[in-house]
Structure 1
Amino acid sequence: MKKKFSFLLVLLLALTTFLAACGGNNGNSANGNSNSNSGNNGGGEGEEQKEERPQVLNLLESSEIPSMDSSLATDQVSFIVMNQVYEGLYRLGENDEAVLGMAAEEPTVSEDGKTYTFKIREDAVWSNGDPVTANDFVYSWKRTLNPDTAAEYAYIMYDIKNAQKVNSGELPVDELGVKAVDEKTFEVQLETQVPYFKALLSFATFYPQNEKFITEQGDQYGLEANTSVYNGPFVLSDWKHEQSFQVKKNPDYWEADVVKLEEINWNIVKDTATGVNLYETNKADTVGLSAEFVDQYKGDENFKTREKTSVYFLRLNQKNEVLKNVNARKAIDMAWDKEGMVQVLLNNGSIPAYYLVPKNFVFGPDGADYRETNGNFNETDVEAAKEAWAKAKEEEGFDEVSLELLNYDSESSKKIGEYLKEQLESNLEGLTVTISQQPFKQKLDLETKGEYDFSFAGWGPDYPDPMTFVDMFVTDGAHNQMAYSNPEYDKLVEDAKTTLLGDPEARWEALLKAEQILFEDAAISPMYQAGASYLERPYVHGILKHAFGADFTYKWAYIE
């Protein structure tokens, strides 16, 4: 993500607002002018009439949408919005089950489990009136894997036959294992069986694309509301960059009759106090809470919490002369108090992380939680950190060093950055930490280019398997972004993707071992597994919250 989301900054407002939140109300839109009580309006002669609320949902987001191009998007903000306005062969329904989207029926699958044949809905159309066809999937997937596109998420499609070779330029794009048998029949060939394939197909990178429209838009595609074309429950109707964005119900969607919301509005707000004020003045239907507001509102009847599967961590860029040293990385990882950060700065249900793969996310062949089996790594130990730091100084020949922390520009991120600076400078003699606050899109760009020392990052899962976290850090991986490399790690990941797919126990062991190696190398410094504390209006129903992929689905949401 989910990612990932790369994804949604941290806690609070980052969530397009934490979940089932929101709802439009009686004028509770951004220019709201009436109260949020669901009460009754008096009728004549003592009659009471229930107040009708428009099907309008008002949300908050902490960031601009980085991209509406499903081939190029890598972050959770983009994925959440795209999940409302685009649709793949499947989308996620209740309990994160993959339900039919553009696919009219379940596919025909070959005996070896490697060839899927899908029928595209006859009534599926784009918002410009064009039919959604099998070629829209062929074009989209080839475009993503074409090396000229430089799609960071191309690797998520490597289960498709020849995908990796196409993406690396070893084979022409036409050798990709996809084809349009006819206008409404789409065939996919895989390299090997993929147990989570249907869920994977709900992810944004697998959405269809309208070739004619994209060609017409050229390099403007996906940059404005009117330079994209939509096939989902909603259409992006307005996009004021760095201020707000809006979606409206898509009347041409194949299942428009089940879509109740007429409009969803997001305001971009970077600090909690402003968000809470918008909520209190009925201009937002939900708001994420930072530590001080949790204490203030935890007795409120509309206060809620949610456990998430997103994990935040420090990327330690090994291009840096100091951070290429394993002892320096171990020192940084063990030198700061994660429990204190979570309790004092977050206070929202987040828990300290000493791991990469989150708790309560995936379970092995024996039924055990991956996290329970692998346990914790490199817990806070200031004395051990000081010893490791002294070794690094001796090995690399430095007494003093300055490292820059690349950070998000949200309010909570700033506090966390200052906390890290204080902890690391106090416990690691000779270290000076400077902080570079960057807007979300620019921060992602700097990470992609590797132009940073260490960075505050996060990842939400894209599909229900440990691999969605573990394969981030293979050598030269698109989301590695920190020059980490370990051949044994790479081999375990490769085996878990290929030769071990027929042996669930051995594959699970390989994925467990890979995470162990990652922390033996102190490749990252995990921070916390996210939780969310928030306020939401009681009249909103039907918003789906997901453990992987886009955080939210509003297709079935409604205002009571």
Structure 2
Amino acid sequence: MRRKKKGLSLVIALLMAFTVAGCNFNSEQTNTQTPAPNNGNQTAEPTAGKKVLRIYDSDEIPTLDTAQVHEDVSFAVVNNTMEGLYRRDANSQPYLAMAEKHDMSPDGLVHTFKIRENAKWNNGEPVTAHDFEFAWKKVFQAAGHYSFMFETAAVLNSTAILKGEKKPEDLGVKALDDRTLEVKLEYPNPLLNQLLSFPTFFPQKKEFVESKKEKYGLEFDTVLYNGPFMLTEWKHDQGWKYEKNPNYWDKDKVKLDQIDAYVVKDVSTALTLYESGQIDRVELTSSFVDQYRDKEGFLTIKDPSIRFLRFNHTHPALGNVNIRRAINLAWDKQGLTDVILNDGATPLYGMVPGGFFFSPEGKDFRQLNGDINKGTVEQAQEFWKKGLQETGLSEVKVALNLADTDTQKKVGEYLKNQLEKNLPGFTLELKSVPTNQRLELEKAVNYDISLSSWGPDYSDPMTYIDMWVTGGSANRMKYSNAKYDEMVKQAKMETDMSKRFQMMLELEKMLLDQDVAVAPVYQEGLAVLQRPTVKDYVVLPTAPRYNYMWVDIAGQ
């Protein structure tokens, strides 16, 4: 699952107020300092008359190999430079992209795709069905981070391949000819079209990949592009440049000529660049929200990423449902989001966030299922007493693992203060650990409570619900409910969307109301400062989140 970078650490230095020296994408020179557009000159001749978007990211691109991408930076780049059978529109709905036609057998198990005749790579060569077959099988050969997405899509033999029972060559995908791709499924999957827009399902040209060997995906010119843009420069740890791809089949809808992206790891520096007119958009951390709330171009976006408390169900106290329920109820979520975070985040009383998914009748999942485990401190204290009696404990001392960022440390302090005040005999020790270490501790279930995050990989409640099946890779807390496991399996195979939706509502209540397996904390918010001239900058609810082909620059 994608990791969203919210806390950005300082790694660059300002040379003087509003002036940053750096690499110039319109120059042959390379500088090791922080990149800035045109060395501070917005109207340099090379970009005159062009529509240019200037953005930043907090990190270097790890790779452009779609078999290996697994985090936001790479997702953003490959989603704008490459494309699969489907692409998502501004409303996050899938539409045919590299494929111009999609036929399905009556039983929903065989899908045949006709590749567009004008689908081309940026070097002018055609995109073929063979490129898809090669790329999909390569994900398993390379042990790609998102190989499980083929199992989510129910592609034939994907589960057996992941278990080592079959080989990647047995995957249910086959190029029947240059323009015809056949995909076989284990069972009918109503999410298939949406999943096929994910980068793991993008094509790669075998001959080109093999010619680049270990360098593939590590430089701008060691990959081929079949999307709206192509990278024409990549200065490592400094930035990269997109240009409109003249061979893209839908190029007439692309409004931008160029995108300059810079590596800027500190929000305060990004704000300095924004105020001096050198970048067009900044994603704010909570400490800057009040300062810029009344500025032109300030807006907040409801983010479907969530934070929640993950409990070790083998712990002597935390294995008790009433103690977990008490911890869930004994603190003020509204105070956390309004005072501590102050960035558009909202209290969360379910696993599926608000505004994320709607029923076939157009009803919000979160509103339909209501606020689960919302109560008072007095109710929490009653559950606390009952839990202590059931476990024979008089006090509980546990540790909370959390990310070592300023924001998450503030959240931890708030939880500690609230829980220790409201639950007599409860002590919470805070342990700030790097994300990778926290994830390893979770995988080993070597923790008491972990403040975890989850961002959706596809637009369906199941991305939050199937995390908790027994032995699942995202479970990481020894929770198990056989009835839950069976209903998840049934819901995945259900093709009646209304019935499937109802099953997922019931599953969420089973997880949170009946079992209190985890404790939702908040739904994240995104506070943004964006130049008013930037139009139609869409942030999608699931990875990949950014698609620049609709962006326009007013007045250019």
TM-score for both structures, normalised by structure 1: 0.82
Point out which structure has higher relative CO (alpha carbons under 8 A, 6+ apart).
1
CA distance in 2, matches of 1:442, 1:65: 22
Query: 1:99-498 maps to which residues of 2 (within 5 A)?
Result: 99-103=95-99, 105-126=100-121, 131-145=126-140, 149=144, 151=146, 153-154=148-149, 156-215=151-210, 222=217, 225=220, 228-236=223-231, 237-238=233-234, 240-241=236-237, 244=239, 246-256=241-251, 258-259=253-254, 260-270=256-266, 272-318=267-313, 322-379=317-374, 381-389=376-384, 395=391, 399-407=395-403, 409=405, 411-428=406-423, 429-438=425-434, 447=442, 452-498=447-493
Note the C-alpha offset of 1:518: 1.1
Asked if the contact 2:80–2:228 (Cα under 8 Å) also holds between the matched residues in 1, the reply is yes
SS at match of 1:95: coil
Can you list the C-alpha shifts for 1:435-474, whole angstroms capped at 9, x where unaligned?
32426x6655665565554433333333332222211222
Asked if the contact 1:161–1:176 (Cα under 8 Å) also holds between the matched residues in 2, the reply is yes
Aligned to 2:551: 557
CA distance in 1, matches of 2:505, 2:378: 28
SS at match of 1:544: coil
Note the C-alpha offset of 1:181: 0.2
Instruction: State the number of aligned residues.
Output: 527
CA distance in 2, matches of 1:483, 1:383: 29
Please tell me whether residue 30 in structure 1 is matched to residue 36 in structure 2: yes
CA distance in 1, matches of 2:251, 2:302: 31
SS at match of 2:193: helix
Aligned to 1:17: none
Aligned to 1:523: 517
SS at match of 1:497: helix
Aligned to 2:80: 84
SS at match of 1:96: coil
Aligned to 1:511: 504
Asked if the contact 1:137–1:208 (Cα under 8 Å) also holds between the matched residues in 2, the reply is yes
Deviation larger for 210-219 or 331-340 = 210-219
TM-score for both structures, normalised by structure 2: 0.82
Note the C-alpha offset of 1:134: 1.3
Note the C-alpha offset of 1:279: 1.6
Deviation larger for 467-476 or 457-466 = 457-466
SS at match of 2:507: helix
Aligned to 1:546: 540
CA distance in 1, matches of 2:26, 2:62: 31
Note the C-alpha offset of 1:527: 1.9
SS at match of 2:527: strand
Distance 1:450 1:90, change over 3 A: farther
Asked if the contact 1:311–1:460 (Cα under 8 Å) also holds between the matched residues in 2, the reply is yes
Q: Which runs of 4+ in 1 moved over 6 A?
A: 24-29
Note the C-alpha offset of 1:418: 3.1
Deviation larger for 226-235 or 306-315 = 226-235
CA distance in 2, matches of 1:422, 1:244: 42
CA distance in 2, matches of 1:249, 1:541: 17
Note the C-alpha offset of 1:248: 4.3
Distance 1:112 1:415, change over 3 A: same
Distance 1:166 1:182, change over 3 A: same
Asked if the contact 1:305–1:533 (Cα under 8 Å) also holds between the matched residues in 2, the reply is yes
Asked if the contact 1:12–1:533 (Cα under 8 Å) also holds between the matched residues in 2, the reply is no
| Unmatched tracts of structure 1, length 5 or more | 14-23, 42-50
CA distance in 2, matches of 1:421, 1:152: 38
Note the C-alpha offset of 1:513: 1.1
Can you list the C-alpha shifts for 1:354-380, whole angstroms capped at 9, x where unaligned?
111122232324443222221111225
SS at match of 2:101: coil
CA distance in 1, matches of 2:446, 2:261: 34
CA distance in 2, matches of 1:209, 1:82: 12
CA distance in 1, matches of 2:64, 2:536: 25
SS at match of 1:94: coil
Distance 1:393 1:95, change over 3 A: same
Can you list the C-alpha shifts for 1:298-322, whole angstroms capped at 9, x where unaligned?
3222222223333332333446565
Paired letter, 2:335? G
CA distance in 1, matches of 2:185, 2:528: 42
SS at match of 2:304: strand
CA distance in 1, matches of 2:160, 2:273: 50
Deviation larger for 389-398 or 232-241 = 389-398
Aligned to 1:45: none
SS at match of 2:356: coil
CA distance in 2, matches of 1:218, 1:422: 54
Asked if the contact 1:407–1:417 (Cα under 8 Å) also holds between the matched residues in 2, the reply is no
Distance 1:137 1:328, change over 3 A: farther
Can you list the C-alpha shifts for 1:277-305, whole angstroms capped at 9, x where unaligned?
23212232111234453333232222222
CA distance in 1, matches of 2:193, 2:445: 33
Aligned to 1:48: none
Note the C-alpha offset of 1:151: 4.2
Distance 1:268 1:453, change over 3 A: farther
Distance 1:416 1:65, change over 3 A: farther
Asked if the contact 2:153–2:191 (Cα under 8 Å) also holds between the matched residues in 1, the reply is no
| Unmatched tracts of structure 2, length 5 or more | 10-23, 28-33
Note the C-alpha offset of 1:343: 0.4
Distance 1:304 1:166, change over 3 A: same
CA distance in 1, matches of 2:135, 2:387: 47
CA distance in 2, matches of 1:144, 1:124: 22
Aligned counterpart for 1:96 among listed residues 92, 95, 106: 92
Asked if the contact 1:32–1:282 (Cα under 8 Å) also holds between the matched residues in 2, the reply is no
CA distance in 2, matches of 1:360, 1:167: 33
Can you list the C-alpha shifts for 1:247-294, whole angstroms capped at 9, x where unaligned?
444454444454423233132424x43332232122321112344533
Can you list the C-alpha shifts for 1:7-63, whole angstroms capped at 9, x where unaligned?
3144999xxxxxxxxxx9999982455587x9xx9xxxxxxxxx9564332223345
Paired letter, 2:522? Y
Can you list the C-alpha shifts for 1:67-113, whole angstroms capped at 9, x where unaligned?
5443444444432232112211111123223233222x122232333
Distance 1:366 1:96, change over 3 A: closer
Deviation larger for 229-238 or 389-398 = 389-398
Aligned to 2:527: 533
